[in-house]
Structures are given as structure tokens and as C-alpha cells.
Amino acid sequence: MNFLWDNIFRKQGKVDDIHRALRENILFQDLSDRELKFVESIVHLRKYHGGEPIFRQGESGVGMYIVLKGRVEIFVTDTTGPAAESREIFITQLTPGDFFGELSLVEETSRRTATAISRDETVLIGFFKPDLMEILSRSPSSGIKILLRLAEVLGRRLKETTEKVSDLRRALKELREPPPTDGNDGSKASGHT
């Protein structure tokens, strides 16, 4: 499951300030310095203590986060067992430069599909749907650049998900179908004797 949360768009290197974190994030990489300065002026810096939830699965989602400092762990709650039992399944750990929650920027009524917990002192850059709407209103060309990159991210994640589901379906089919017998294991193969 880690593939869904891996940041395949992250550039290598330490992220140590807001400007650099935004510049290195795929959503903002096409922006000019002036456009990026505007984004910097409207994003939100959030600090979390170790063990503090950032959001929980099922809650309303209003935007995405970029990890500036610290670590965030992503979990999903498995409720497929008996009604009274549910368990949290670890999906991945995110580190500086990674981002998550971007789907809520485009969904009309977004619900978080996982739980995000800060593992140590963590600083996140919050970029929320109202921020995106403000950019689209005040600088449509900047907003379009961000939306095109957002579409690329969502498209790539959808492609990865589709490939993983196909792999899982193939594996499940193989488990359900008995292996063919060739007659070498002492059993009779169907056909001529």
C-alpha cells in the first residue's frame, strides 16, 4: 500500500524553508518567483507535537500539507472484520518535502481516506481550498499552472492505483484457481492414456 502515499514527485535534498519547500513541490514548480511569493503569503504554517493527529480518516478535508520538518505517519482503519473490531494499518511515513491530502483541493465534499499523525515535532505548510480559490480569483494564470500540476499528480496516483488493483486481482485469481496438473505428480491428467 505504500505506493499510494510515496511522493514520487519529491526532489532530493533537505527542505529548510517555506520558499524552498514550495519551489521544490511539483504543484508550484512552474510558478515565477513573483507568483511563488504570492503563494508564500497565503499558505499556513502549522506545528504539531509528536503523536498529535493532523486529521483522522472520515473527517472533512479542506486542503493539503507539505512536510517542512519532522515526520508524519499515515494509517487507515480496517473495518472489514467483526463490527466491534477495527484496526489501524500503517501505510507509510512522510518526511520533509513530501505532501499529502491534495485530493481535498478538488473534491466538492472531501472526506479524509486515512489518518495522519505527527511522529515528532513536525512543521507543515498548509495549502487549503480557499487558498487555491483566492489564487484563481486574483491570478488565474497562476491558478491554472497549479491546477495542471495537481491534475498530473492525481492522474499519476490514479494510474498507480489502477496498476496495483490489477496486480492484486491477478494474484487473487491465481489463489482461487487450482494449478493445472500435468500427470507427473501421480495423478492422472485428463485426456488420452
What domains lie within the chain, and their CATH numbers?
A: 2-174 (2.60.120.10)
CA 36 to CA 23: how far, in whole Å? 7
For 105-118, what is the mean pLDDT? Answer: 90
Asked if residue 77 lies in contact with residue 50, where contact means CB atoms within 8 angstroms, the answer is: no
pLDDT band at 110 (very low <50, low <70, confident <90, very high): confident
Lowest-confidence pick of 19-23, 48-52, 107-111: 107-111
Predicted confidence (pLDDT) per residue in 140-158, tens digit: 999 999 999 999 999 998 8
pLDDT of residue 193: 47
pLDDT of residue 9: 46
> In the prediction, which pLDDT does 109 show?
83
Task: Note the pLDDT of residue 11.
Answer: 44
Q: Which residue has the higher pLDDT, 87 or 19?
A: 19
Provide the whole-model pTM: 0.76
Q: Which of 68-77, 154-163, 183-192 has the lowest mean pLDDT?
A: 183-192
Q: Is the pLDDT of residue 174 over 80?
A: yes
pLDDT in the model for residue 13? 40
